[in-house]
Amino acid sequence: MKGDYRSFPTAATPARESGALGTGADMGTLLGNKYEIGGSRLLHSSVDLGWRSSVTAEVRRHEELHCEPFVQQVNEVIIALSGSAQIRRRADGAEQKFVSRPGSACICPRGVAVKYLHIHAGSLDMLHLYLPQNLFGNLECSDNSPIDSGLMYTGGFFDPLVQHIGLAIAEEMQTEGSTGRILLDSLGVALAARMLQHYTRQDPKNFTGSYMDSKAAGGLDRLRLNRVLDYMYQNVGADISLEELASVACLSIYHFARAFKLATGSAPLHYFTDLRISRAKALLTDSGKTLEDIASSTGFSSGANLTRAFKKSVGVSPTQYRTGG
C-alpha cells in the first residue's frame, strides 16, 4: 500500500451536508459527528481537495472511540487502511465484535439506530465514505420507510474489491490528481454496484424505481450519448463530475455509468481522460504553447500531472511526442 497515512495534515475540514451532497442528512449535519464526539482525529478530507464529488471521503484515526447511542444519518462504508484495534458495535440483533486490520470493512446504513460503537486496544486509520442516496439509483425498499436504504448493517468483513476501491480513493486523496473528482465518482459507482450485489437485505431485482428503469437497461441511446459527448468536448478543461454527466443524460449516476460503458466500451472516467490526452496531442503541435499552458487547457493541475497521465496513455512523454522521439 502506497503512502503513509500518518503524514496527513492535522487541520482537515470535516464534511457537512451542504445540500449538494445528497446524503439525506439535514443541512449542516456533520457527517462524522459521532466520531468527533467520540474522540477520533480527522486526518484528511476530500472537502479540502475541492473535488465536490458525489462521494465524500474522510480519513480518521481511532484509538479510544466510545460512541453513545445514535441514529445513523447517512449511508456509510468504512475501510481500514492501517493499524489494528478491537471493534464492538451493535444495532438490532447480536453484537458485532471483531479485530479490525487493514482491508477489513464495515457498512452502517442510513436510518439504523446504533446502540453503541467502541474502538479500543489499538489504533486504526480508517477511510469513511459518505454516500449520496442517488448513487444507488434507488436502493429504497417498497416495504420500508423512505429512510431505509436496504443495505446490511455489517462489519469486520474482507472484500477484495471493496478494499481495492478504498485504497484507490485514499491514494488519490494523497496525490491530489487532476481527475480526483471524477475518479472518486467512478469508484463510488463501483462501490454501489458491489453493495447491490452482496450487501443488501433483499435481492436487488426486488427493489423498485430506477434500478429496473428500462432507460438504463442497455447502452445510452444515440441522442443521450451525443449530448454527453458534446458536454465532455465543451468542458475538456473543466473539473466535471459524474453527477453532471448523469444529469445531462437524465439518468442516475449508477445507471449512467453502466449505460455509458455499454455504449462506448469505456468507463466515463477513462473516456474523459482519453479525450483530454487527445486534446493535449493536438496542442503539442503548436510549438508556442508550453507544457503548463497545455496542462491548464486540458484540465491537468500541472505539467507534471499531464506528463504522468500522457506517458501512461501514450507510452512516451509529451516532450518526446512533440519532438517525435
Strands 70-71 and 154-158: unpaired
Helix (H) or strand (E) holding 88: strand 75-90
More confident residue, 192 or 277: 277
**CA-CA distance, 120 to 130, in Å (whole number)?**
23
pTM across the whole model: 0.67
Report pLDDT for 136: 59
User: 98-120, pLDDT tens digit by residue?
Assistant: 999 999 999 999 989 999 999 99
**CA-CA distance, 311 to 300, in Å (whole number)?**
14
Is residue 205's pLDDT more than 70? Answer: no
Report residue 3's pLDDT band, with 50, 70 and 90 as the boundaries.
very low
User: 125-135, pLDDT tens digit by residue?
Assistant: 999 999 887 66
Report residue 151's pLDDT band, with 50, 70 and 90 as the boundaries.
confident
Q: If you average pLDDT over residues 39-45, what whole number do you get?
A: 91
Report pLDDT for 218: 63
Helix spans in the chain (H): 33-38, 160-175, 180-198, 222-234, 242-249, 253-264, 268-284, 291-297, 303-314, 318-323
Q: If you average pLDDT over residues 84-102, what whole number do you get?
A: 94
Beta bridge partners of 58: 45, 128
The rounded Cα 154 to chain-centroid distance in angstroms is: 20
DSSP helix/strand/coil, 214: helix
Is residue 216's pLDDT more than 80? Answer: no
User: 243-256, pLDDT tens digit by residue?
Assistant: 788 888 888 777 88
Which CATH code fits 276-323?
1.10.10.60
Cell of 296: 491548464
Report pLDDT for 48: 85
Report residue 210's pLDDT band, with 50, 70 and 90 as the boundaries.
very low
More confident residue, 240 or 29: 29
CB 232 within 8 A of CB 175: no
More confident residue, 6 or 165: 165
Which CATH code fits 5-198?
2.60.120.10
Report pLDDT for 135: 64
Cell of 21: 451532497
Cell of 61: 484515526
| Residue tagged 444507488 (cell numbers) | 136
More confident residue, 175 or 231: 231
Q: If you average pLDDT over residues 170-174, what whole number do you get?
A: 83
Q: If you average pLDDT over residues 198-219, what whole number do you get?
A: 52
CB 103 within 8 A of CB 1: no
% of residues, the chain, pLDDT over 70: 83
Cell of 130: 459518505
More confident residue, 315 or 325: 315
How many CB atoms within 10 Å of residue 6?
11
CB 32 within 8 A of CB 199: no
Instruction: Return the domain boundaries, the chain.
Output: 5-198, 214-265, 276-323
Report pLDDT for 179: 59
Report pLDDT for 94: 92
CA angle, corner 86, sides to 80 and 88, nearest 5? 100
Q: If you average pLDDT over residues 291-300, what whole number do you get?
A: 89
| Residue tagged 447480536 (cell numbers) | 94
Report pLDDT for 256: 84
Report pLDDT for 148: 57
Is residue 285's pLDDT more than 60? Answer: yes
